[in-house]
Structure 1
Amino acid sequence: MRYAAFNIIELETEQVQNPGDPQAEAAARIVQEVRPDILVVNELTNNFQQDKYTDRANIDAFVQNYLSVPQRDELSGIDYEYTLQPTSNTGVLPDGCYDFNKDGNYRERPGDAFGFGEYPGHYAFAIASKYPIDESSIRSFQTFEWADMPGNLIPVAGEEGVVTDPEDDETALYLTEEELEVYRLPSKTHVDVPFEIEEETVHGLFAHPTPPGFDGVNNFNGKWNHDEVRFFADYVAGEDYIYDDSGVCGGLDDDASYVLMGDMNAGPGLGRDERPLRPAQKFLIDNDDFYTDRLPRSPGGAQRGLPTATRTGGDVEGVVEQIDYVLPSPDLSLGASSVVWPSENTTKQNLLEDVRRASDHRLVWADISTHPC
């Protein structure tokens, strides 16, 4: 079984609902090179939430218009029979009058939405699979409230050290007591998707936490990201404070197999001032509930000083980060894995150009088996 995570930066409805978009073609070419059995696409607009409603889900349009169509003569298309397009908090405004971003305007996108988005469903994600999804057992956590996580890091007005005066920092973000009662933890959603694979069940754990920046002295987004990453660590540990959108409480069963996939917007060991909390190191890399002894690598990342890097700003000399993951539970067997980031001297025709055209992120994949080696 090959699992892959790919943040295709801001892939929108108009691009995937019709053939011929250069970015979508480049991204599809990369997917066809890797040929994953299960794929999550981050930053794919959820068109069923968007004002521009169409009859076909964007993930299905992407499969039909791009992934199933060979992007090069030597490649073949991939038909994903099973897809899922979860509802996202991005661009979704709360009921009532709230000024989450403290700019003096109430209920305005993107800053006053539950997750940053210019419209409902912006920056969402979707899943495509060759294997059946047990739809009756999907658990989504879109409405889980941040304040219901014990020991959360929410900056709350009135608490010691929380800046609320714009004269001290006009970009400082925080929540009021009233906002605590409605503010959601997932900036998109967290979802547990059970896949039926060779008479076994493997739970795909999908999320896309908020980026830890753009938030002022209170480090609001950094703390939000920290707790979003923490959520799935608590979930696989079976913590009982968790509840899903159907009201079912508790985390995963002790004997469950799972693979965490997606852009976590958090990298291990980063010492940058705006990311001091390092939730990926704490909750993923150093967590025995995930197998992290071997992480996917690439020659392109190695050329930039970080073999495990999965994102760049596009400049060869610029900052690179490892923030995209495919991490199995320790009971599963990890085989080959890689990040699709060719070196500057690759001989594969136009692959590096397509990698750059598709996104500032790189596709990450891993072969994972339910059977021991």
Structure 2
Amino acid sequence: MDVRVATFNAELDRKGPGLLLRDILSGTDPQIAAVLTVIATTKPDILTLQGFDHDVERHALTAFQSALADRGHALPHAFAAMPNAGLFTGLDMDGNGRTGEPRDAQGYGRFTGQGGMAVLSRFPLGKVRDFSGFLWTDLPVAIPPTRNGAPFPSAEAFAIQRLSSVAHWDVPVRLPNGPVLHLLTFHATTPVFDGDEDRNGRRNHDEIAFWQRYMDGALSTPAPDGPVIIAGVANLDPTKGDGRRDAITRLLADPRFNDPEPRHTGTTATGNASLHTVDWPEPAPGDMRVSYVLPARTLEVTGAGVFWPAEGDPMLDTVNTASRHRLVWVDLRF
């Protein structure tokens, strides 16, 4: 049995609660139509979706599943939970002397749930381990931000600061007549837009490092029992851009994982450029590799790719309308 696992930062976050549901139900939003086309064209069996606004009763996700099924690609099983994005704290979390701003939430967000995550699957899902509430201070060998030797922005703020800017989930996927595949997914913060304390850079580093600590059994919960695959947005390129690149470098070199190095499906890019997964405006930061699908080394990989059509391909306009990010997939054989 072949299974395609994909990750896609669809950037479907809106500026207010309920607006994503409105846009999905309208059936006329060009970005949503483009995102649906990208997914229906690449046909993942298991998809982690980032940049998707969360609502408590999952109305937007249900509507999105229905729209996707109408495109001929049904993913009937889904998981979503309240993310840290936009989760109110009441404290000054970025040290600018003000409260109640998007950066004062547990993770950046104008409202609770903005830019959340979801998992869609052709196969049933088991009980999810949700690490959204895991405190940054509880991560072994963490590198928290400080200023003048004291916790930044304050001891009170750092005491409640969660590690995940959006979420970290271990989602068991029950493959037919096969193993339970543990899908490890996350959406790390960008490592920039902070000050000399490097709060975002350090948090990005530790959000990536979380998975190795988890696999080591170094957290308060045991490591997953069975095959695993990381699929998510690290928001960090191993060779270019700002950020503490040793985090992603160590993860890619971890002997427990295999980096299939998914490459562009249609462009003429070569070398590291063919691995890029996002098209940010030039001159900075430009194209980078920030989304990853990393299966356990014990799993058989039969294919991998970054859905990036060539210039002149009509599908490229659709891909550009959908998101600055590209869908990344890895094919596994069980």
Q: Alignment partner for residue 88 of structure 2, among 79, 93, 96?
A: 93
Give the CA deviation at 1:32: 1.0
Given that 2:95 and 2:153 are in contact with CA atoms closer than 8 Å, whether structure 1 keeps it comes out as: no
Distance 1:252 1:304 in 2: 34
Distance 2:91 2:53 in 1: 25
Distance 2:212 2:308 in 1: 28
Amino acid at match of 2:203: W
SS of residue in 1 equivalent to 2:194: coil
**Which digits, 9 at most, give the CA deviation of each residue in 1:53-105, with x for residues without a partner?**
xx55322211112x1223xxxxxx111110111210011112xx521112222
Give the CA deviation at 1:158: 3.7
Distance 1:361 1:33 in 2: 16
Partner residue in 1 for 2:332: 368
Partner residue in 2 for 1:260: 230
Partner residue in 2 for 1:57: 59
Classify 1:42/1:301 alpha carbon distance in 2 versus 1 (closer, same or farther; 3 Å).
Answer: farther
Classify 1:276/1:264 alpha carbon distance in 2 versus 1 (closer, same or farther; 3 Å).
Answer: closer
**Seq. identity, %:** 28
Distance 1:305 1:190 in 2: 27
Q: Alignment partner for residue 137 of structure 2, among 141, 147, 150?
A: 147
Partner residue in 1 for 2:17: none
Write 1 or 2 for the structure with the bigger share of helix: 2
Matches within 5 A, 1:233-272: 233-239=212-218, 242-243=219-220, 249-253=221-225, 256-270=226-240, 272=241
Given that 1:157 and 1:177 are in contact with CA atoms closer than 8 Å, whether structure 2 keeps it comes out as: no
Partner residue in 2 for 1:213: 192
Distance 1:343 1:78 in 2: 24
Flag structure 2 segments of 5+ consecutive residues without an equivalent.
15-19
Establish whether residue 345 from structure 1 lines up as the match of residue 324 from structure 2. Answer: no
Flag structure 1 segments of 5+ consecutive residues without an equivalent.
49-54, 71-76, 163-173, 244-248
Establish whether residue 37 from structure 1 lines up as the match of residue 45 from structure 2. Answer: yes
SS of residue in 2 equivalent to 1:9: coil
Distance 1:56 1:114 in 2: 21
After superposing on structure 2, the runs of 4+ consecutive aligned residues of structure 1 that deviate more than 2 Å are: 14-18, 249-253, 314-318
Q: Alignment partner for residue 289 of structure 2, among 322, 332, 352?
A: 322
Give the CA deviation at 1:317: 9.9
Give the CA deviation at 1:305: 6.3
Distance 1:362 1:118 in 2: 24
Partner residue in 2 for 1:288: 255
Query: What's the TM-score once normalised by structure 1's chain length?
Result: 0.82
More moved, 35-44 vs 301-310: 301-310
SS of residue in 2 equivalent to 1:233: helix
TM-align CA RMSD? 2.0
**Which digits, 9 at most, give the CA deviation of each residue in 1:327-361, with x for residues without a partner?**
10111111111101012133xxx200001000000
Give the CA deviation at 1:297: 0.2
Establish whether residue 126 from structure 1 lines up as the match of residue 129 from structure 2. Answer: no
Query: What's the TM-score once normalised by structure 2's chain length?
Result: 0.91
